Structure 1
């Protein structure tokens, strides 16, 4: 995950966007400016020795394969009528899981079945969130409204959060101004992809930066649409899929290059990258 200092200096010279000084503390470690033409850095591979999860019960997949503008995508739907969403970072007595297998191995035998899960927000070199993060009603990280380089700081960024079956996405400034009660779950990432039905103003139609990317959007019926690309795509393609195909008024970029999906029903568990926070969609009892 963590690039060495020579790679950081080389990226600074190539982009001339952030200067060649030391990166500020708390900055996301695997990100690129939209349209810069500089791809996300290669992620640190996940440990090969992670324990295998307990086999999931046979349930229908909430995910489907699709294409948009020639790009292969996987689209998963969380429905408040049958699903709950929780965040997961790590056990209370240890470091972040950094992958689905470690998370699955620590789940209680009587835990609700997992419909699917995705990585959900940007993080530091230890896998800890760099923005707002709430798990089981406990705030582990405050809202981050700081300026800085990288996708996370490409304003407006946003927060995906919810309590019970009401899930929402707001820009960070909107969240700060209007949300007083702490939600049951929340994660901050950036940039926003769609804001009030319009694309993020700095997203190019099809910029040169391509990566495997994932995001989440909320439709008018309150369902959460999670999307991950199966091939490197631009921000523009992902954003238009949310706006034009899924009709989500608001959508949030979750990550790029380390994007991963766990879909137990289809026996898929991506394990090629180490990441931080997870968004876990569970079947209701």
Structure 2
């Protein structure tokens, strides 16, 4: 007989001519062989895992695990076909098996951690639970397709998580107040610093302006004195030249006066000698 499995099924064929189990999607089933249908679609398992921390404080871990056979590995399918497939996957046997693995690994891990470590490292705690549970499920050919662990819950009479939550909220509120106060203080200090810097810059600019003004005034006076000095020197030189010219002129006039009378007397003397 030729059989074909559905999309979410596999055929597990055993019997004559087959050494162990043959896993296939379709094939001939000959006389002396038997064929079982393996359903491989995953199933959701919901648990309320009871655990206890290192301080012996109990808590509840609500979890929903989506678990099914590993279809991408033939060896895992063989394990599943041998160990799980003979039972209804919704049966108490399979549920108790999966629950026992999850609770066992969760309790062992929680017992090595303080309640505060569990509370503050919830994400890491959940991830480690998944990894340890998966290691145990591997021997049955199962894989965790998805796992959703809800917020850790207190056991009645042990409201530790509630107190930790309140403590965290109060710390967050106080930190927010501190942040607001620090931001306000920084704003006021920054405003004062900016105001002080403005005044300092203004004073610096005023001082530099005065220095530049004084320098320019001094430079102007220097130029003025220089011009006056040059004018005075020029006037003195002109006066000296005029005095020199006047002196030379007077000298020349004096020489002309002296030469005038002497020249006339000489002429008259010569005429007297000739008369004699």
Q: Going by fraction, where is strand more abundant, 1 or 2?
A: 1
The structure with more radius of gyration: 2
Tell me, yes or no, whether TM beats 0.5: no
Q: Going by fraction, where is helix more abundant, 1 or 2?
A: 2
